[in-house]
Structure 1
């Protein structure tokens, strides 16, 4: 497959805060950076003008059972499967068999942490972490000791911000504990990714995530919740799958914390990648690319 070089956009990538271009071939990201060097780096590539659009990893929905895939794609969402949850009593056996551990987060989180810690003491923490323990939903406040235990074995907490009440949940504290956060974009039978970001950032009392962290939860975090362990899934890093969405949006902004207050800024000196302003209307999907193939054509 001929490489594609897309220029003239605004690209969200760890490779460069100010990237405006990316290239991919055979379904894999090759490069992301400024427009100028692109043609010399990829002289034989097909060319695409992004027309100023924002290009970012596609949203990933891992609670995908019963989801209308076409409608999800039209919202810039791709699916990443998570198996059904298991009873707590099955944890030890599944870890020893090298199988995924998926638990209902509405069980007592302290009991879950104890069970995982106990198994880690028998087979080693890395063995448990390779099973990517996943808690779906959150039904109780998790204390610091429990968070430490969950983080030690590589646990991922999958939030459902459009289903569960996050009021009083300190997402900043959870994220700081080392527990990886993922988030579902589902509301009943549909996906609402931009409302999901708003819910994750709007937890009262300054306990919500930054827009960047919220976006990570519904891209890279969701991929990790589905079992990806390569470190690149859900990003536009060279070597990652070329799965991304192209959005028409207004001016991008950076959110910076000032005590408990979040302030929008367009100052590039902040070093934080700019994001669409969540206080405005939803960005408009222009195209969706999955593994290098355009599944929702340019609009």
Structure 2
């Protein structure tokens, strides 16, 4: 596959806070940085002008049983489906077989932590971690001991901000515990004629919900975005640490968004405030208090899924 060099944008990548360009080849991102060196590094690449667009990893949806993938793509969302859910009584059997452990809504996180800890003591922590245990639909507080136990075995908590009431959930404490936090973009549980697929996929509303949990215990926009990209990839089974990012070596799966000025959020006496100060060191994000950014293109594994608009 011919290399592609895209310049003239604003690129969210761990390679550089001020990246304006990226290049990918054979489905993988190979470089991200400033515009100037790009043509010399990739003289034979196909060239794309990003026209000032914000380029970021595509949103990832794990709870994707809907068939309307074209509609999902039109929202900047790609799918990485989880296997079906199981009951807590099957966890031991699944771990011994090396299969994925996915527990549905309503499962007590404290009981999950106890069972996974018991299995880690019996079989070893790596044996449990290889199954990437996922707990879907957290709606109740989780104590520090359970969080530590879940973090120790590589568990993922997958929240559904547009389905469940997160009023009693301290996302800040969960994120700080070491547990991987993932999130679903879905606002509904299934596709029906009265509720088209596209109406259930609302990534920007999901970001707003994650950042506005009552009591000031919501995530920063950057952490919320990570839950919808890298966290969701982790929930789906990725273990390389780069999936869901635009790090060199990761899959070239990204969206182009037309948006206004990018901003960062800084803490000020426990109150979040919008700022454009570059000295914060926090990668800037679209302003969630404004209208949704407009999707201008989607690339999946190096190929255009939604052509540039």
Match of 1:248 in 2: 258
Residue number among 192, 197, 204 corresponding to 1:194 in the alignment: 204
Cα distance change, pair 281–158 in 1 and its aligned pair in 2 (3 A):
same
Deviation at 1:259, TM superposition (A): 2.3
Moved over 2 A (4+): none
Deviation at 1:181, TM superposition (A): 0.2
Tell me the C-alpha RMSD between the 2 structures.
0.8
- TM-score, normalization by structure 2: 0.95
Preserved CA contact (<8 Å) 2:62 2:184: yes
C-alpha separation between the residues in 1 aligned to 2:46 and 2:70? 27
Preserved CA contact (<8 Å) 1:101 1:134: yes
C-alpha separation between the residues in 2 aligned to 1:3 and 1:66? 33
Preserved CA contact (<8 Å) 2:139 2:166: no
**Unpaired runs of 5+ in structure 2?**
189-196
Preserved CA contact (<8 Å) 2:139 2:169: no
Match of 1:47 in 2: 47
C-alpha separation between the residues in 2 aligned to 1:37 and 1:294? 24
Match of 1:148 in 2: 148
3-state SS of paired residue (2:215): helix
* Aligned: 1:287 with 2:297: yes
C-alpha separation between the residues in 2 aligned to 1:126 and 1:67? 35
3-state SS of paired residue (1:126): helix
Match of 1:225 in 2: 235
C-alpha separation between the residues in 1 aligned to 2:3 and 2:156? 35
Preserved CA contact (<8 Å) 1:106 1:140: no
Q: Over residues 257-291 of structure 1, what are the superposed CA-to-partner deviations in whole Å (9 max), with x where a residue is unaligned?
A: 11210011111111000000000000000000000
Residue number among 225, 232, 247 corresponding to 1:237 in the alignment: 247
- TM-score, normalization by structure 1: 0.98
Preserved CA contact (<8 Å) 1:75 1:285: yes
